[in-house]
Structure 1
Amino acid sequence: MKESVLVIGSGYRHFREYVLRGLAEDFEILLIGPAPLDWQLPYAAAHREADVQDEAAVFAAAADLAVTHRVAGVVTWEESLVTRAAEVAARLGVPAMPVEAARACRDKARQRERFQAAGVPSARFSLAGTEAEAVAAAESLGYPVVVKPRGRAASVGVRIVRTEAELRRTFSRAREVENPSIDDGLVLVEEFLTGPEIAVDSWVLDGRVEPFSIAAKRTDYPPYFEEVAHVVGRVLDPATEARVREVVTAANQALGTDRTVTHTELMLTADGPKVVEVNGRLGGDLIPRLAELAVPGLSVGRVLGAVATGRVPEPAGRPDRLVGIRFLYPTADLTFDEIELPAALAGEPWVHEVRTVSEPGTELRLPPRQFLGRAGYVIAAGAGIEEIDARLTKLAEAAAVRGEPLSA
C-alpha cells in the first residue's frame, strides 16, 4: 500500500506536472489547492480546496485529510508556501522541514547571518531600512553592490547598482516587489559577486545532502538578473564540482534543511564557490525536469517523496548528456498572441520541446516593468555547453513572439 504524502499547492501545469506525476508513481497524493482539480486529477487520490495563503484554511484542510489518511510526509514546491508547509507538518506531528529552517529559506538576510556564523562562503551584506542606511552600506561594501528583496525568488527585483544615484532610485523599487510575508521594510544590500552562476538541486535527509542536478544559469536584461536560460548536466570540471558539493552541503546544514529537495544558487568566484541563496524547495524554471532528461532513470518526484517520508532515494546515475532551456520573450511590451518558429528548425533532432506558456491576450512586459514575462520556452540537447548555448540562442532568435504592441 502506498504511503500518503500531503502536497500543498501544485503550481503551474507546464512547470510542475512532471514532479506531481513522478510523485504519484510511488505515493498516494493528498492535494490541497485553491481551485477544483483540473490537470492534477489523474495524480491526486484525495483533494481539499482551500486558499493556500490562508493559514487557518490550509490547516483545516490538512487536518480533515489526516482523519482518513495517515500522512507520512508534507511537501510543497511553491516558494511562497515553504514556511506554511513546514508549519502544517509540525501541527500534524509529521516529520518534515523544520519550521525555523523554512523561515530561513524564505529570508535571504537570515540565511546570510547563518552562513556567516557557520563559515559558509557567501557575500558580505547589510540590511537597510532607509535610503541613507543603504548608501552607508554600499559605501562600506564598495560599489558595485546588489540590492534585492529578501523574500522573492527567480531573481525578481534583484539589481546591480553602481552609483549612489542608482541606489537611491532602486531602494524603493526593491521594497515594492518584496514578498508580503516580509513587512519590516528592510532591504538587502550585498557585495557584488562576479563569476559564472550555477544552481544545484539536492535531496536532504537527516543531515545528509546529496546534489543530483547542477545547472549553469544564464541571465539578461541588465542591470537586472532576469533568468533567461539554464543548462543541466556535467557543466563543471571534477575539481570544481567537488568543491561546489562541499559548499552546498555546508550551506544546507547551516540552515538545518531536512526532508526535502533544495535549490542552492552559487557564484563561482575567483576565491571559489560562494552561496547566493538556498531555496527550501526544488528548483523552478524546469531545471529538475532537465535533470531528468540528462540523468538516466532519475525521477525527481520519486526522490522528493522518498526524503519527505524519511527514506534514502534510490541512487541516480551520472548525466549522460547536456540539456538546456531558453525562455522566449517579446522584443517589446505587447499583448501576446502566438509564437512562430520555423518548422524546419523546430523539427531538428536536438530540439526536445517547444512550448507556449502564456495564454493569448496576456500582457507581457520586459524588466523592470514585469519580471518573468515569458511567452514560452524551448528545450534542446547537445554534447557541450557551447553547443547547447548556440542552439538555444539560434532557437530564441528564430522564434517570433507575436502580439499587439502596448503603449508606453
Structure 2
Amino acid sequence: MKESVLVIGTGFQHFREYALRGLAQRYRVVLVARSPLEWELPYVAEYREADLQDEAAVLAAAEDLAARNRIVGVVTWDEWLVAQAAEIGARLGVRSMPTGAARSCRDKAMQRARFQEEGVPSARFHLAASVAEAVAAADEIGYPVVVKPRGQAASIAVTIVHSEAELRETFEVVRGAESPSIGDGLVLIEEFLSGPEIAVDSWVLDGRVEPFSISAKRTDYPPFFEEVAHVVGKVLDSGTEAAVRDVVVAANRALGVDRAVTHTELMLTADGPKVVEVNGRLGGDLIPRLAEIAIPGLSIGGVLGAVATGREPDPIPEPDRLVGIRFLYPGADLTFDDIEVPAALADEPWVHEVRRVSEPGTELRLPPRQFLGRAGYVIATGADIAEIDARLLALADSTTVVGEPLGV
C-alpha cells in the first residue's frame, strides 16, 4: 500500500485550499470530509464522507481509509477537530499530536494551568461557575479583566470588562458562546494583558519548536476582540523577536505538543512577551497564506506533511516582504449581495487580492450579534507596517458592502 497522509476536514476553499494543494504536491492525500468533494477533488487520492461532529462516524471513516492505505501521518487545520485528529492517530497507531497536548490546545484554562506550572509568562486567571465567582475573581485580579470562552477560536466572544456592572452583563453572553466541547459551564476570567498582539506559526517535531512566521494582529468592535486584520513578515525588531521565540518554544514544550504546526498568540507587554494561547493547528484568517507570499519558496502544505510524517521540513528562509490582510464588514446588519471596490484602487500595484467570501443572500451581522460576519477581504503589500495598515484601511473604507438592511 502507498504511504498516505490522512486529512480530517478541509474547511472553506478560500481559506484552506493553499494548504491542501501544497500537501498534495508532496504527499498522497486521503481525506475524511463532511460532504461530497468539490474544490478538493484535484488534490485527493481517496476520501470518505462523515459528519465531522460525529466522532464515531469520523473514526469509522478513518479506519476504513487506513485499511486500504498505509497512513503515515494525520493532519487537521480545523480548530474543532484537533483533539479528535489526535485520538484518531492514536487509534490507528500513527504517531501524531499527543492526545493530552491536543486537549490542552482546545482548553485555554488547561493551558493557563500548564503555563503556570512551567513558568511560561502568561495571564493570571480564575475559572468561574457563576457571576458571583466571576466578580470575586475579577476583584482579586483587578479590572479590567478579560472574559472568554475556553474552547472557542478567532477571539469569538472574548470581551474586556472594566467594572462589576459590565462583568454582570457579559458573563452569561460569554458562557452562551462556549464551544460544545467544553461542557462544564466554567468561564475563564483573566488578567488583561496590554500591548501589541502578535501570532507565531511554528513547526514542532520531536521536542524541537521552530517558529517560522510572525504576524501582527489588529482587532476591532470593542469591548470584543474581533480579529479584523493581520500583517505578516518582518514585523518585530531582532531583540523582541528573539524574546518572542524563547517564549513560544517554552509554551509549546509546556503543553507537550509534537508533530504539528501550531499558532501561538502573544501580547508584547511592558514586562515582555506573554502567551495568550497556543492553538494546535495552522493559523487561520489566511495568515499562513500571507506567509507563503512573504517568505520565498515556503509551502505550508509541505511543512504540514513533513512534521506529520516525522520528517524535518526544508529550511525556511527569512521573509523578504511585508503583506497584510483586512476583512470587510458591513456598516450595519444586512442581507449580503456583493462588494464593490473602485476600479482605480483595485488596480493599484500594491493590491494583491480582493475577494468576496460570503455568498449572496447571506445574513451578516456585527458583533455581538454575530462574530466573523465577513463579506470579503483585501490583501496588500507595502514597505513597512504603517504603510500596509494605511493601504488596507483605504481599501476597506473605499469598498462598499452591498445588501438589504436587516430589521432590528
Partner of 1:361: 361
What are the residue-to-residue correspondences of 1:381-400 with 2, within 5 Å?
381-400=381-400
Partner of 1:122: 122
Alpha-carbon distance in 2 for matches of 1:329, 1:127:
33
Q: CA deviation at 1:2?
A: 6.7
Q: CA deviation at 1:101?
A: 0.2
Partner of 1:112: 112
- After superposition, the Cα gap between the structure-2 partners of 1:258 and 1:156, relative to the gap in structure 1 and judged at 3 Å, is same
What are the residue-to-residue correspondences of 1:26-175 with 2, within 5 Å?
26-175=26-175
1:75-133 Cα distance to aligned partner (Å, 9 max, x none): 10000000000000000000000000000000000000000000000000000000000
Q: Which amino acid aligns with 2:66?
A: A
RMSD: 0.7
Alpha-carbon distance in 1 for matches of 2:15, 2:187:
29
Partner of 2:194: 194
1:298 and 2:275 are equivalent in the alignment: no
Partner of 1:207: 207
Q: Which amino acid aligns with 1:137?
A: A
- Aligned to 1:283, the other structure's residue is in SS state coil
Q: Which amino acid aligns with 2:157?
A: G
Q: Which amino acid aligns with 2:42?
A: P
Is the 1:2–1:26 contact (alpha carbons within 8 Å) kept by the matching residues of 2? no
1:197-256 Cα distance to aligned partner (Å, 9 max, x none): 000000000010001110000000000000000000000000000000000000000001
Alpha-carbon distance in 1 for matches of 2:382, 2:159:
32
Aligned residues: 408
Is the 2:32–2:49 contact (alpha carbons within 8 Å) kept by the matching residues of 1? yes
Q: CA deviation at 1:68?
A: 1.3
1:151-190 Cα distance to aligned partner (Å, 9 max, x none): 0000000000001011011110111110001010000000
Partner of 1:268: 268
1:62-84 Cα distance to aligned partner (Å, 9 max, x none): 11111111000001000000000
Alpha-carbon distance in 2 for matches of 1:374, 1:66:
38
Q: Which amino acid aligns with 1:100?
A: G
Partner of 1:12: 12
What are the residue-to-residue correspondences of 1:280-319 with 2, within 5 Å?
280-319=280-319
Alpha-carbon distance in 1 for matches of 2:319, 2:29:
29
Q: Which amino acid aligns with 2:247?
A: V
1:241 and 2:235 are equivalent in the alignment: no
Q: CA deviation at 1:5?
A: 0.4
- Aligned to 1:89, the other structure's residue is in SS state helix
Is the 2:2–2:69 contact (alpha carbons within 8 Å) kept by the matching residues of 1? no
Q: Which amino acid aligns with 1:95?
A: R
Q: CA deviation at 1:3?
A: 3.2
Q: Which amino acid aligns with 1:51?
A: D
Alpha-carbon distance in 2 for matches of 1:338, 1:258:
42
Is the 1:154–1:226 contact (alpha carbons within 8 Å) kept by the matching residues of 2? yes
Alpha-carbon distance in 1 for matches of 2:49, 2:399:
38
- Aligned to 1:369, the other structure's residue is in SS state coil
Q: Which amino acid aligns with 2:280?
A: G
Alpha-carbon distance in 2 for matches of 1:25, 1:260:
19
- Aligned to 1:315, the other structure's residue is in SS state coil
Alpha-carbon distance in 2 for matches of 1:371, 1:335:
15
Partner of 2:323: 323
Is the 2:2–2:70 contact (alpha carbons within 8 Å) kept by the matching residues of 1? no
- Aligned to 1:305, the other structure's residue is in SS state helix
1:273-316 Cα distance to aligned partner (Å, 9 max, x none): 00000000000000000000000000000000000000000001
- Aligned to 1:330, the other structure's residue is in SS state coil
- Aligned to 1:18, the other structure's residue is in SS state helix
Structure 2 residue runs without a partner (length 5+): none
Is the 1:126–1:188 contact (alpha carbons within 8 Å) kept by the matching residues of 2? yes
Alpha-carbon distance in 1 for matches of 2:260, 2:304:
6
Q: Which amino acid aligns with 1:201?
A: D
Alpha-carbon distance in 2 for matches of 1:336, 1:151:
29
Is the 2:105–2:111 contact (alpha carbons within 8 Å) kept by the matching residues of 1? yes
Partner of 1:228: 228
Alpha-carbon distance in 2 for matches of 1:89, 1:227:
32
Q: Which amino acid aligns with 1:15?
A: F
Alpha-carbon distance in 1 for matches of 2:221, 2:157:
12
Q: Which amino acid aligns with 1:83?
A: A
Identical aligned pairs, as a percentage?
Answer: 75
Q: Which amino acid aligns with 1:340?
A: E
- Aligned to 1:251, the other structure's residue is in SS state helix
- Aligned to 2:42, the other structure's residue is in SS state coil
1:25-66 Cα distance to aligned partner (Å, 9 max, x none): 100001001100100000000000011111111111111111
Runs of 4+ with deviation above 2 angstroms: none
1:349 and 2:357 are equivalent in the alignment: no
